[in-house]
Structure formats: structure tokens, C-alpha cells
Structure 1
Amino acid sequence: MKQAFLNQLKQHGITPATRLLLAVSGGLDSMVMLHLFRTLKFEVAVAHVNFGLRGVESDADQQFVSDWCAQHQVPFFTARFETNNYATTHGLSIQMAARDLRYKWFNELAAKNRFQFIATAHHLNDSLETALLNLARGMGLEGLTGITPLSGNRFRPLLFATRTEIETYAAENEIAWREDSSNQTDVYQRNLIRHRIIPALKKINPALEAGFASMVLKLKHDLAILDAENENWKSSYLESSGAGVIIRKEGLQPATLPHLWRALRNYGFNWEQTGQILPAIAGQPGKIFYSTTHSLTVDRGCLVISELTKPIAAISIPVANGKYQLSNLELLIEKDQPPLFLPDRNVAVLDQNILSPNLIWRSWQPGDSFIPLGMEHQKKISDFLVDEKVPLGLKNKVTVLESNGEIAWVVGFRIGNRFKITHDTRQAVVFRVSQL
């Protein structure tokens, strides 16, 4: 066990110099992990969470871990949470609430104390249970691989070991640990799988854990091939723009649905939505799909993925030299000689005598209209943006400069005709907009 544990550490670049925070509940698995790190002379710190779910039993677990750390001179951190209240407030199951609270606190500790990794004592049986849960929930291939040894700053050094191997090591080394009584009930889904499903599967294959480990290895090889193919597809059909991420229509065929799914899930879209998006491409542009973090707009010849942002608040700015910020845009105002040639549409030159002393910089709104430079009649901005072939995903990011209720500049596109400089202009004002 000790050599296999050490091999796992070396494989992931963990050395005695690595600053590690161990999540220790006081149960069998975490106490074995703590013993192994200490036996190998690693300098570690321990974090223990009291979720307040089992009354005096939870308090006794906390005292047990605290006493062990004091006896062995290991830095000890602890926190207590009202998990039931948190679960009710946030509409979560007890298990998900405990997970949220635990990892939020672990990450705060790691950042404050410069721990490089948070080590948890998940083992091979935990990974098998996770894979079976994912199977029941209809997850993809990645779900069948169970728990990964390293994800971000979370490290699981015991994933190579079975529950039986951990029990044997604890007995051989006389390691004291605490039993969590909630592990014996079938209230939680994981316990149901542990107590009923896995024993039934082991009647089919007594070496179930070894078979699972072999399957995971094969799946990871297959996934590596799929990832490489998906990267090739993305490099051919995905590109970034001011509107967000654009997926070109040529890459969207029924046969490429798996590629589209692997791209969209990174933006929070689910499999069902992915299946609805392909048929929508054949319809009229403008259909929008939403995840919790992004929108996907079916545009002319492409899909546009944009991050959901809060509505941009309007700000008042004086017509004076200075820099002003609105969302991720910066506006530079200079009372100066206008350039002979405008370098691009992000620069506008307006007549100060026609501008009001203070301007409103805001998002355009439905119903807004202006007289574009070179025209004589009002035009709705919505129609103007269509004429300019502005992608649907970019339209909601367009802003305007307003002077006394009249739009002086559709920022980055065109000024209002009345605000142009003429031979009678005494003072020109130069506006330059850029993305931060």
C-alpha cells in the first residue's frame, strides 16, 4: 500500500515540498490517508468540517481529529456549518449542500495559507459508486470513468486502493478511526448503490473493482482519441469574435452532433438542447437557446455563443477630455483637431456646439432611432443593425451616445447626421471607443 501510494504521488508531481491540506473527517479512509502522508514524512495540515448533522456524534468526530493532530503536532483547521439551513435556503440536497460548504471553505483555507493541493481520501470503490450514479443519471462517457485523481487543486491519492485494501492497512498499522453511522443507512443514493447494487454486481464478477479500473483505463484512451478529433473539428469551424464564439454552419451536420455537444457543454448547454439546435439551423434566424451562463443564437450561416451579462447601466459623461468606462468598453474623449482620416469606425468626430454639455452613454433600446450620417430621415436602430449585418449575438452589446434625447453616435458604427462637423464647426470633439 505504501509503495503504491508513493507511486501515485510521484505520478502527479507531489513531493514532500508540496504544501498539502488534507480533508480529514476522522473516518477510516481519511485517517489512513493521513497516516500514509505522515509515515512518508510529508508536512501536511488537516482540515475538518463539522456539518452538525449527527449531533454529539459530529462533535465527537471533530474532537477525535483535533486530539490526533495535537498529539502529532499537525496544523489543524476546523469549521462548523448549519448544513440543514443552507440546504433549505439554496434548494439543495443535504449531500450537495455539504459538498458546497466543504469545498468553498477548503478553497478559502488553501488560498489564505498557500496550500497547493487539497487532498481527499476518495478510493476506488468511491469512484465505482460515482460511475454507477452517473450511469443511472444518463451521463456521457466521462461519467463512466468515475472520479479523476487530479482536478484543479483537488487531489485524490487513494484512488488506486479498494475499500478492502484500506481496511487491511488500517488493521495492520493499528490506525484508530471513527465510524459515521449515516453510512449504514440507505437514505442517500450512494449508500443504496454501496449496500445493494454493488453486492449484486459482485455476484456476477467478484473482481468488480479490478474490472472497473480496467474499463476506466480503456475509456480514457478512447476519450483521448475523441478529444483529438473534436479539437480538429473546433479548429476548422469555431472562432472567437466580438460577438462571442462563432460556430460556422458548414460544420453543423447530423454526423457532427457529438462534436457540437462536446463544444457546447463547455458553455453550460445540455444534450437535449444540442439535439434541438441542429434542426433550428434550417429555420429562420433568431432562435435563442439559454444555459445558466450563456446564450446561443441561431444566426445567418452560424451559431453565436455569448456570455450572459447583466444589462449595461447608463452613465452620464461630460463633454470634456477624459476616459470613461461602460461594461467592458472604454471611451476616450479629446477636444482636439480631428484626424484627416478616421482610422476605423471606433473613432467618431462630433460638433461640440451641437452636443449637450453632458451625454448619456447606454445600451440601445428597442424603439431607438436616429438619422444616420448622410441620410435625411429617421431610421430605427434595429433596422440599421440589420442593414449593417450585425450578428444577432453582438446586437445586445451595441451602445449609443445620447445628447438631449437624440442619438449622436451608434458607438462603433455611425454618427447622427446632425452632429457631423461642417465648415461652421468651431470646436470638434474626438471620441475613441475600445474594448478593455
Structure 2
Amino acid sequence: MLLKFKNHILFHFPFLQKAKILIAVSGGLDSMVLLHLIAQLNLEFAVAHCNFQLRKDESDEDEDFVKSYCKENSIQGFFQKFNTNQFSEDEKVSIQVAARKLRYEWFYELLATENYDFVLTAHHLDDQLETFLINFSRGTGLDGLCGIPSQNDKIIRPLLIFSRDEITTFANENKLKWRDDSSNASDTYLRNKIRHHVVPILKELNPSFLNSFENTIQHLNQAQSLVDDASRIVYRKVVQDVDNQKIIDLNELLQLPNYQAYLFQWLSPFGFLAWQDIYDLVEAQSGKQIFSEHFRLVKDRETLIIETRSDKISDEYFIHKNQSELNFPLKLTFCNVSDITISNSKTIFVDVYALKFPLKLRKWQEGDYFYPFGMSGKKKLSKFFKDEKFSIIDKENAWLLCSENQIIWLVGKRLDDRFKVTENTQTIIKIQLV
């Protein structure tokens, strides 16, 4: 096993030879074998141990075991206790999700603060199979069936080529010590039910089942690679990246025979899960939207728009006389000038005596109207938005600079004609969107 592991590292992860490595060590069988194997390769490494405080004294005993091992073998160790139950309750997520989030956030913090390059975890082939079956039972796409990646950013899993039986045999032959996790014997978690009741039947039906499964995973990953290539090619034709938005052209999308598959590929990374609702959104009326935890998907005319969900901000901000700038939610500057220079959508010049302070910056409301500079008469903002082809998100992001109840400026778009500089203007104020 040691020779196979060494060759695996040299062939697939040669960069580890010169890297500083953190090994995630729980004290259990798998992580202690990984620790032993890495030590045999004379790589530069340290240990990171998480105490999730989920098994009372047993969790603390695991931590003490790893600390003692590190001390006896002169290995640097990093140790962290987490109040996992409290975090799970606060974040309204399962214990498993809470532990995973806490673990990986801490790992990345260690990489940054302690100048390490990668974290190695001890996931193996049986873990891969269990993950495959969990995803399969819940319903998933091809990506979910590909299982646990051998490398995901800074996280590397070099034991995925080994079965649990191989790891156990190696540990016994080398007289390694480890801690058994009592929770692994419980059927409380879905993973344990699959491990105890489903996998043994599959192995009984086919003694070479794990080898067959490993081949299947390789084929699935190859297929996923083809899908990714096709997805990138079509993406460039159908999707525009504009500022902080991604705009999907529905006319182009609907020409594709398998457009739902492309939507799945593009939207999955944003955390969207309500797939039937998303597919229905393609034919829905403008204004309908679907949310993930951090993003929203909006139907706007002939497009779907993806953007980050923003925290709610105040609807009104005030600018007082002699105030030179406003820094939030927009960066606006105000200064008196003697003459008009270059005027554009981001810079306006107004007659200061037409203003009544404090000025107000606010969102638009139904019924708002103004007198667009360069046009005759007044116009409802809703009609202006329509004529100028504002998207739903553009309208939501629009700000109005007002003097009392009169609109001075649709910020960044159009000045109101009532506040323009004339030949009778004595004092000019320049207002700029920075």
C-alpha cells in the first residue's frame, strides 16, 4: 500500500513534494493511516484536529489521543474546539452540515494564517461509494454521481484509490493505533444505514463490486468532462456577463434541444434547487423570480438574470447644504463651479437656487414622474423605464435624487429639465456619480 500511495502522489499530486501540508486527523483509523503514509514520504506537514464536542468525553479523548501522538512524534499540531450544536441551531442546518462548514472554514483559515498550501483528508473508496448512493437516493445530476473529487481547490483526498479493507489491513500490519468513533455504529445517519445495510449486500452480490464501482466513477468523470466542455462552449453563445449579473438569452437558449440540461449546469453552482420551478420560469411572465441562499434568478422579458441577493438597505438618504459628498449607497460628490464643463450621464450641472435642502436620495415609487432633460413635457418613470428598456433589476437598482417632492436626477441616467442651468443661473452646483 505504501508503494501504491507513493506512486499515486508522484503521478497525480507531484506538487505536494514542495508544499506545506495540513493533514486533517480525527484520530480514527483512516486519518491515522493517512498520517503514517505521509510521514513515510518525508513531506513537510502538520496536523489539524477538530473537536466538535458531539460525543461528550469521547470527543475530548480523541483530541488527547492526537495531541499525545503529535508530541511523541514531534509533529506540529493545531487543535480547535467547536460548539457544533449551537452553530447548527443558529444557522438552522443539520449537525453534519454544521460540522462540515466549521471544519472547512477553519482549515482555510489555517492555510492563510499559518502559510500552509493544502489540506489532506482521509476519504477513501468506501466513502466515495456511500456518497454516490446518498446522492443517487436523493436524486442528482451527473455531477452528484461523480462523487467526491480527489482535489477540490486546496483540499486533496489521496486515499480515494483505497478501500476500507485495504486501509484496515495496512493499519493492522503496521501495528498502528487509532480511536474508534462510537457514532459509526449507530444507524441514526443515512450514511451509516447505507454503510451497514446496503453496501454489504452489493459486495455480496459482486465480490469485485468496489473495483467495478471505481471504473464506473472514472467513466462518469470522463462524461462530466465532456459535459463541462460543451457547457462552456454554449455558455459563450447564450450568456452575457454584465457587471455583477449573468444574463441568459432565452431566444438563444430555447433553440437548444436540451436547454434544461444547460440550465442545470449553469445554475447548480449558484445553489438553486427548485429545478421544475426554474424550467417553468422560462415560459413565465416577466417579474417572476426564484431564490437560492445567496442568489436570485429573475425572468425579465426575453432573458433570465442571475444576481447576488443584496441585504436590504434604507429607502432614503439625505444630503444637507454644504455637504460635499455622499458615500452610501452611492458615491456622489457635490461642489460649486463657475461654469459647465463636460456633462454626461454620470455628471450633471444644476441651478443651486432651484434646490431645496436637504436633498433626498430614494428609490422610485409607482406614480413618480419627471421632466426628462432634452424632452418636452413630463413623463412617468414607469414609461421612461419601459422606453429605455430597463430590466426589472435595473428598475430595482434605480435611485432618484430629489428636491422635496421633485426629481432632480434619475441618477446616472437623466437630469430633470426643471433643474438645468440657464442663462439666468447665478450659482452652479456640479453633482457627480463616482
**TM-score (structure 1 length as normaliser):** 0.92
* Aligned 8 A contact 1:242 1:394 in 2: no
Instruction: Report the CA distance shift for 1:242/1:27 in structure 2 as closer, same or farther (over 3 A).
Output: closer
Provide the rounded CA distance (Å) in 2 between the counterparts of 1:51 and 1:311.
Answer: 34
For residue 349 of structure 2, what is the aligned residue in structure 1?
349
Provide the rounded CA distance (Å) in 2 between the counterparts of 1:430 and 1:351.
Answer: 9
- Where does 1:208-287 land on structure 2 (aligned, <5 Å)? 208-242=209-243, 244-253=245-254, 255-270=258-273, 271-280=275-284, 284-287=285-288
Provide the rounded CA distance (Å) in 1 between the counterparts of 2:304 and 2:54.
Answer: 47
Matched, 1:364 2:389: no
- Where does 1:28-177 land on structure 2 (aligned, <5 Å)? 28-177=29-178
Provide the rounded CA distance (Å) in 2 between the counterparts of 1:8 and 1:337.
Answer: 73
- Where does 1:308-387 land on structure 2 (aligned, <5 Å)? 308-313=309-314, 314-318=316-320, 322-327=324-329, 329-339=330-340, 342=343, 344-374=344-374, 378-387=378-387
Instruction: Report the CA distance shift for 1:266/1:338 in structure 2 as closer, same or farther (over 3 A).
Output: farther
* Aligned 8 A contact 1:261 1:274 in 2: no
> How far 1:374 sits from its partner (Å)?
4.8
For residue 197 of structure 2, what is the aligned residue in structure 1?
196
> How far 1:340 sits from its partner (Å)?
5.5
Instruction: Report the CA distance shift for 1:320/1:205 in structure 2 as closer, same or farther (over 3 A).
Output: farther
Segment drifting more, 194-203 vs 298-307: 298-307
Instruction: Report the CA distance shift for 1:66/1:211 in structure 2 as closer, same or farther (over 3 A).
Output: same
For residue 398 of structure 1, what is the aligned residue in structure 2?
398
Segment drifting more, 79-88 vs 26-35: 79-88
Provide the rounded CA distance (Å) in 2 between the counterparts of 1:340 and 1:69.
Answer: 70
In structure 2, give the amino acid aligned to 1:250. N
Aligned-pair Cα RMSD in Å:
2.2
Provide the rounded CA distance (Å) in 1 between the counterparts of 2:306 and 2:96.
Answer: 33
> How far 1:107 sits from its partner (Å)?
2.4
Cα deviation digits, residues 283-302 of structure 1 (max 9, x gap): x4232222222222222222
* Aligned 8 A contact 1:288 1:298 in 2: yes
Segment drifting more, 309-318 vs 209-218: 309-318
Segment drifting more, 115-124 vs 352-361: 352-361
Provide the rounded CA distance (Å) in 1 between the counterparts of 2:281 and 2:162.
Answer: 43
Provide the rounded CA distance (Å) in 2 between the counterparts of 1:298 and 1:178.
Answer: 53
Segment drifting more, 415-424 vs 344-353: 344-353
Provide the rounded CA distance (Å) in 2 between the counterparts of 1:53 and 1:295.
Answer: 35
Segment drifting more, 194-203 vs 351-360: 351-360
> How far 1:34 sits from its partner (Å)?
0.6
Query: What are the ranges of 5 or more consecutive residues in structure 1 without an aligned counterpart?
Result: none
Segment drifting more, 293-302 vs 404-413: 293-302
Provide the rounded CA distance (Å) in 1 between the counterparts of 2:62 and 2:231.
Answer: 47
Instruction: Report the CA distance shift for 1:90/1:267 in structure 2 as closer, same or farther (over 3 A).
Output: closer
Q: SS of 1:46's equivalent? A: strand
Provide the rounded CA distance (Å) in 2 between the counterparts of 1:398 and 1:360.
Answer: 14
- Where does 1:20-31 land on structure 2 (aligned, <5 Å)? 20-31=21-32
Provide the rounded CA distance (Å) in 2 between the counterparts of 1:182 and 1:211.
Answer: 29
Q: SS of 1:421's equivalent? A: coil
Query: What are the ranges of 5 or more consecutive residues in structure 2 without an aligned counterpart?
Result: none
* Aligned 8 A contact 1:312 1:362 in 2: no
Q: SS of 1:263's equivalent? A: helix
Instruction: Report the CA distance shift for 1:242/1:166 in structure 2 as closer, same or farther (over 3 A).
Output: closer
> How far 1:146 sits from its partner (Å)?
1.0
Between Structure 1 and Structure 2, how many residues are aligned? 429
Cα deviation digits, residues 209-255 of structure 1 (max 9, x gap): 11111111111111111111111111111112257211112222253
Segment drifting more, 368-377 vs 395-404: 368-377
* Aligned 8 A contact 1:368 1:380 in 2: yes
Provide the rounded CA distance (Å) in 2 between the counterparts of 1:364 and 1:12.
Answer: 55
Q: SS of 1:53's equivalent? A: coil
Provide the rounded CA distance (Å) in 1 between the counterparts of 2:382 and 2:313.
Answer: 18
Provide the rounded CA distance (Å) in 2 between the counterparts of 1:351 and 1:274.
Answer: 49
In structure 1, give the amino acid aligned to 2:134. L
Q: SS of 1:348's equivalent? A: strand
Instruction: Report the CA distance shift for 1:365/1:21 in structure 2 as closer, same or farther (over 3 A).
Output: farther
* Aligned 8 A contact 1:361 1:399 in 2: yes
* Aligned 8 A contact 1:243 1:304 in 2: no
Segment drifting more, 91-100 vs 137-146: 91-100
Provide the rounded CA distance (Å) in 2 between the counterparts of 1:73 and 1:143.
Answer: 40
* Aligned 8 A contact 2:370 2:406 in 1: yes
> How far 1:43 sits from its partner (Å)?
2.2
Q: SS of 2:319's equivalent? A: strand
Provide the rounded CA distance (Å) in 2 between the counterparts of 1:72 and 1:163.
Answer: 25
For residue 19 of structure 1, what is the aligned residue in structure 2?
20
In structure 2, give the amino acid aligned to 1:260. L
For residue 293 of structure 2, what is the aligned residue in structure 1?
292
Cα deviation digits, residues 148-194 of structure 1 (max 9, x gap): 01112211111111111111211121111111111112111111111
For residue 414 of structure 1, what is the aligned residue in structure 2?
414
Provide the rounded CA distance (Å) in 2 between the counterparts of 1:249 and 1:338.
Answer: 47
Provide the rounded CA distance (Å) in 2 between the counterparts of 1:91 and 1:295.
Answer: 20
Provide the rounded CA distance (Å) in 1 between the counterparts of 2:292 and 2:134.
Answer: 24
* Aligned 8 A contact 1:351 1:428 in 2: yes
